[in-house]
Chains A and B, each alone.
Chain A
Amino acid sequence: MRQFFAWLFLIVLMVFLVIGGFEMVHPFGEPPSTMDQYMIDNAQEETGSNNVVGAVVFDYRGFDTLGEATVLFAAVTGVLLVLRAGEKKEET
């Protein structure tokens, strides 16, 4: 009996989740936000940069670029740490 109610609860929960998920799916072909059009229209005026991709990377989404630079820094640090032998230990 207890297992039956557990399965019933699970099925009802799954039905609600699936129906809710299909309800909230965005209509096909519509842009999910108007942010891209805003950037295309205003990037040259606001950042003074002709290259809108550069404006997005270094101005609107600068924090993301900081993370990318950190990833590169960590990668180079790891390569140099692993591959450079440094001071060799004396073998006794």
Chain B
Amino acid sequence: MSKIVRTVANQLMLFVLVFGLYVIIHGHVTPGGGFQGGAVIASGVVVLIVAFGSGHIKNSLRERRLSVVESSGALLFILVAFAGIGTVFFYNFLVGSQIFGGIPPTGSNPGDVWTGGVIPLMNLGVGLKVTAGLSAAVLALALFSSGEEMEE
């Protein structure tokens, strides 16, 4: 694409990243969560692919790193789920403790990030997983349609 499109995409990616991280981290306070925030960041990667071309992006997004990030996100999710197995699988054991332990009042309230127990951690894990997974899938599709191959 032209230089104007490339420059605008370059500047836009920062805001897309910030908004995606905001949606992931505030998943237990505002609408959104890990899936949605990860999809937002992956759409930013799509903008970069459209602007710069898949052959240029594949040098900075390696498949090995993406799969490591995705697997670590899945591992974080399952480990947090198993951490509460003293009571039951997926037990929210962090409510009332020191880490993310705040309990908001019932009903409408301004909201606080330091609440939610294990839900922020799970949002983070799912967010990492969806970001890396969708980016890898989109990049593989773009490289396939342009006749190139993904690098290890």
A55 CB within 8 Å of chain B = yes
9 closest residue pairs by CB, A with B: A62-B90, A49-B28, A76-B133, A83-B144, A49-B116, A48-B115, A48-B103, A79-B137, A83-B140
Smallest beta-carbon distance A44→chain B, Å: 5
Q: Is the interface of A mostly helix, strand, loop or mixed?
A: helix
- A54-B104 contact in complex given A62-B90, A69-B129, A80-B140, C-beta closer than 8 Å: no
Q: Which A residues are in CB contact (< 8 Å) with B102?
A: 48
Q: Compute how far the CA of A35 lies from the CA of B104 in the bound complex, rounded to whole angstroms.
A: 21
Q: What are 14 residue pairs bridging A and B, where the CB atoms are less than 8 Å apart in the complex?
A: A44-B106, A45-B103, A50-B109, A51-B29, A51-B30, A53-B31, A58-B28, A58-B122, A65-B126, A66-B90, A72-B129, A73-B133, A79-B136, A83-B143
- Interface residue tally on B, bucketed by range: 35 or more
Q: Taking the nearest CB of chain A, how far is it from the CB of B107, in angstroms?
A: 8
CA distance in complex: A75, B74 (Å): 14
Q: Are A79 and B141 in contact, with the CB atoms below 8 A?
A: yes
Sort chain A's interface into a size bin. Answer: 20 to 34
Complex: chain A residue closest to B28, CB-CB = A49
Which residues does chain A contribute within 8 Å of B111, judged by CB atoms?
50
The answer to whether residues A59 and B101 also contact, given A49-B115, A51-B28, A73-B129 and a CB cut-off of 8 A, is no
Measured in the bound complex, the distance between the Cα atoms of B90 and A47 in whole Å is: 12
Give the shortest distance, in Å, between A54 (CB) and chain B (any CB).
Answer: 5
CB of B43 within 8 Å of the partner chain: no
A80 touches B136 (CB 8 A): yes
